[in-house]
Amino acid sequence: MKRGVCIILLLLITVGLYLYFGQEGGESKLRKRTKFAIDNVSNIDRIRMKDREGNEVDLKKQDEIWIVNGKKQCFQPKIDGLLNKTLSKIRIKGHVPKAARENVIRKMVGTSTHVEVYSNGDLIRDYYVGEATPSQDASYIHINGAETPYIGHILGHLGIIGPQFSCDEESWYDVSIFDYKATDINKIEVVNNELPNESFTLTRQDSTFILAPSLPNFIPSAVKSYFALFKFKNFEGYAKYLSQTAKDSIKKTIPFMTISVTDKKGMVKKLNIFRKGSNSDANTLIDRRGNKVVQDTERYFATFTGFDRLVTIQDYVFGKLIVKRSFFSQPVE
């Protein structure tokens, strides 16, 4: 009797262990198959994305610098976000419910982004990112070659995945105009075409700052502070509401101000700033009532060295750089 009980208990334990480890093994295989998160993103050297409309972005790392479509340098903070906040944190919640699969697959055929991720030259992820789920807290993902789509999300982020994989080439361009430490700048030249007498040049020689043309009651501390303002100055956008003809017209006009920075290596970067809302049709702004706005005080058009597009910059970001020569002089009481 006791022997029979022991045999039954042994069989139950054996079956339990088999079921436990067998199920665990199955789950492990599922996790392995659906593991989108990439542990070592530093080894990623290429990311290709293509949407159903034919827009394609090919991001490649070349000597630690990311290039988009073999044309322009990428904005490093955006690349870092894609690597560290998206590719390293994508998780699978589960399969798309069977009743919804056919509809989801049909939608993904028409609207999705094909994503390929390469590490050390090898393809390590190949999947499609579709629309948001009805709850708007995840997105549909289909692994290339899999039988069913999944529901994926970014760990710690209550939002959809799709926008992280933009196929708009311009959205990846480096938006930096000036990004200098104060100690990396040797000379700053500001040309004010509206008030020529307010133009000036600032030169640093060791710890001494020189203003030309000189001014009485010169304030060296103001110049030192001005040199420190050229860090992380980025443009806002591309003025896509303007036609290319209008943009070319603006670029041919005389800027109201030009700011040129010469670094310690002798390299010069020049920023041309154009007012928005001037008398030209291309710059004219219209308010809600259809009246012309004389001037937009919050934004400017701009061009700069090494970039062939007309961009917009915010006064909030660049306003402290747009100064007159008299700014560096103490008022006489």
Whether residues 201 and 218 fall in one domain:
yes
Whether residues 199 and 162 fall in one domain:
no
Whether residues 138 and 219 fall in one domain:
no
Flag whether 31 is in a domain.
Answer: no
> Which of 172, 193, 217 finishes a domain?
172
Flag whether 26 is in a domain.
Answer: no
Whether residues 96 and 233 fall in one domain:
no
Report how far apart, in Å, the C-alpha atoms of 97 and of each of 127, 142, 217, 249 are: 19, 13, 75, 55
Whether residues 57 and 75 fall in one domain:
yes
Flag whether 27 is in a domain.
Answer: no
Flag whether 14 is in a domain.
Answer: no
Q: Hey, what are 200's tokens?
A: 């000036």
Flag whether 36 is in a domain.
Answer: no
Whether residues 194 and 321 fall in one domain:
yes
Residue with tokens 């943009």: 247
What is the structure's pLDDT at 65?
A: 95
Give 236-305 as a 3 state SS string: CECCCCCCHHHHHHHHHCCCCEEEEEEECCCCEEEEEEEECCCCCCCCCEECCCCCEECCCCCEEEEEEC
**The domain containing residue 99 runs over which residues?**
41-172
The pTM for the full model equals 0.78
Helix (H) or strand (E) holding 150: strand 150-154
Whether residues 100 and 138 fall in one domain:
yes
CB 188, CB 76: distance < 8 Å: no
Whether residues 185 and 119 fall in one domain:
no
> Which of 172, 201, 219 finishes a domain?
172
Residue with tokens 């103490």: 330
Flag whether 12 is in a domain.
Answer: no
Flag whether 139 is in a domain.
Answer: yes
Flag whether 62 is in a domain.
Answer: yes
Taking residue 99's Cβ as centre, other Cβ atoms within 10 Å add up to: 7
Whether residues 189 and 167 fall in one domain:
no
> Which of 172, 201, 228 finishes a domain?
172
Q: Angle 65-172-263 (CA atoms, 0-180°, nearest 5)?
A: 55
What is the structure's pLDDT at 332?
A: 52
Whether residues 261 and 323 fall in one domain:
yes
Whether residues 63 and 204 fall in one domain:
no
What domain count does the chain have? 2
pLDDT in tens, 93-104: 888 998 888 899
Whether residues 49 and 116 fall in one domain:
yes
Which residue stretches of the chain have pLDDT < 50?
Answer: 15, 17-31, 278-283
